[in-house]
Every structure is written in C-alpha cells, then in structure tokens.
Chain A
C-alpha cells in the first residue's frame, strides 16, 4: 500500500518548501544585508504553503493514507498519528500567525508587485508582540517535529524495513 502519486508529490514539494521557509526565516532575523530579499521570499512562500496545506488536507480526506504496518506497537502508532496531526496543525498555524502578526503590526502584506493580502486582525502592537513571539516558538516547534519525523522515517527505512518509508517514496514492486 502506498500514498497516491499526487499525495507523494504534495508531501515532497511541501517538505522542500517548508524546510526552505524555516531556513529563510532563521537566516532572515539575523541578517542585515539580505534581510529584505529574504523577507520578500518569506511572505509569498508562506502564503503558498498555507494554500498547499489546505489542498493537502482536502486531498487527505479523499485519499486516506495507507494503514500503518500490523504489529506496530501502540505507542509508536500514537506517536506517528499524533506527530502527523501536529505537523498539519503547524502547517496552518505558522502562516496564519505570520499573517495575523503583520496585520496586528499595521504593515502592508505585499506578496508580489502591488498584490497584497488584507488584514485579518486589528492594528494592535501588543497583539503584534505576542504573535511575533508565538511565530518564533511555533517555527522552532515545527523544525523539531520535522526532525523527529525525519528520524522516524529513516528508522522505518533502515531499521524496521516495514515498507512505511517506501509508501511515501517509490512504488515498490
């Protein structure tokens, strides 16, 4: 049993985009010379990830993932399901908090050229300060969960050899 080709394509596309996004995010907040360039990529990329997260959630409802291997201990099953829902939650939460944060700052939310997003919360700098902090905490959480997800995937591929890793990569014969 594997994920559909569309599901796999979405997974790997988003994996690349989200990792790029996290690295841009952390590089951006320490950079001077590249700050503006990185912010200019960070914003539209965040909007794209939010859009793709919605596509992915809908796709998941129509194409449920293959079941986990029989005989997998309950603890690992719970960890697998739990971490996947945390990943989904963060894929939505991070861009939405980013969007709300810029709205609370009263900043224009420019994507490309004159294309911009509307504000989703009122202008309130105290709210901005909180959301800005939440954005950072969520970003570190997402990176940590991705590392756990990566470690678990490699465990399935190299140690358990139970077909879970292959279900998201190439179709096995």
Chain B
C-alpha cells in the first residue's frame, strides 16, 4: 500500500513537473513560433504567389521556381558565386584557424593577448572591416602603393578584376572570420587527453604524425562543428560582397543572398525572392545533412 502511494506521488510529481516545464518553455516556443515558424510558413506561401510589394497578389504555383531555374538571368550566376565562395572560404578558414590555434598553444607566452587580437575582427562591425580592406585593396591603396614604390610593379585592380574580386572577398572574409573558429579549436585543443598524447610520444610519434594521427582525430568533433557552421554562414554571405565589390564586376561576386535582397527589396518581387530563399534553404539543409551522414567516417567521438 505504502509502495502504491509512493508511485502515485511520483506520478503526481511528474505531472506537476511536466506543467512546470511547459510553463518554462512556453515563452521560448511562443517566440520561436512567432518569429521563426510563422515567417517560414509565410515564406513558403509567398514563394507560390506573384507577390509585389504593393498591389494585387496572384497564386502562380511553382512558376517562381520555374522562372528562377530557367529564365532568370542572375539566379544561376548568384548561386554559383555562393558555392564558389564557400568552396574557397571554408577550407582556408579552417586551415588558418587550426594553424593559429596550434601556434597559440600552451607554450606561447601571452597567448591570451594574441587570441584577443585575432578575435577582434570577429567582433568589429563588418562595415568597418570592409572600409579598412578597401583602403588596402583599391588601386591607390596600401598594397598597390607598396608594390609601386618598392618593386615598381603595378598590381591588378583587385576589386574590379573578374579574376581577383572573388579572391579579395575570400581573403577579407578569412581575415574577418578566422578568430571565431580559432577559439573553438583552441578550446578543443586544450581538452586533449594528456594520456593519449603522452602514449603517442612514448611510441615515438612526433610533430606532423602527432598532428595528423592524434590531434586532428581527437579534435574532429570541434572541426566538424566548425565546418558545419562555417559552410552555413558562407552560403549566406552578403555583407562583404555588398560593401566591397557591390556584386561586380558584372555579376561575378553577387551571392545568392544579394540576389534575394535585390529581387525582394529593390525590384519589389517578394514572391520570386521567397522562392530563391527556399532554394537556398534546401541547399543548406542538403549540404548539412550530407555532412552529418559523412561524419561517421571521420569524426571521432570519445565515449
């Protein structure tokens, strides 16, 4: 009998806790619904309409998607630019961030100061970063000025040269973004199990072998996290090309988000912009899902 009442009390407690939990979670769920679920649902609906900013809206089914995929002159170049940026930016960012994290290891004096220095571009407004890089990259800027006076050599006009504009954006973005992944990887490096590293050393492993066979596998969860997040953010790149090159020359640096912004807010076609946003969303979800599938092959979790 006593046992039965104990069970009843536990059930009652669970029920009470469930309501309490629901109470605690409600504000977050309400916020999520209001600012995420409803806009997302609206965007799906919007993408099926001819939806001008002002005036009559008409249902057009999948016409917006068809227009983007078959007749919009800027959609494919914009999508290609986002992919090119991601393919260039993500590996460089990760290699630089990992390199910095390894360099600023525990043996460096004043490493905290260096970490702060490398992290400053991450917290500096992107507009300020871009202004500095414009002063460096423009024809009468720092880089060309140095080259001209020291070597008498005229550098290309980086921001309007079709071959250099995207590279300039990637270099600037790596500089601005490397600090974040550096911090993530530094944290992982500081958690390396000393016993494993020690055992490898006793076995005679040194330098490169330790890095490739011990360190990287051990921090692979952090690398995986950094890769997933960096790919997502680089597929959404907007501010750097918008401010640095204005999407030019031609459409060579116009990313898909700039295309969406222009289509929706400059050219007033919200339906077409929503459809493009959904294609980008599908691309990001697809790439992320692939990464999660592939992680089993290379990400090493300590159990």
Partners in one complex: no
Residue ranges of B at the interface with A (Cβ–Cβ < 8 Å): none
Measuring CB to CB, which residues of chain A are less than 8 angstroms from any residue of chain B? none
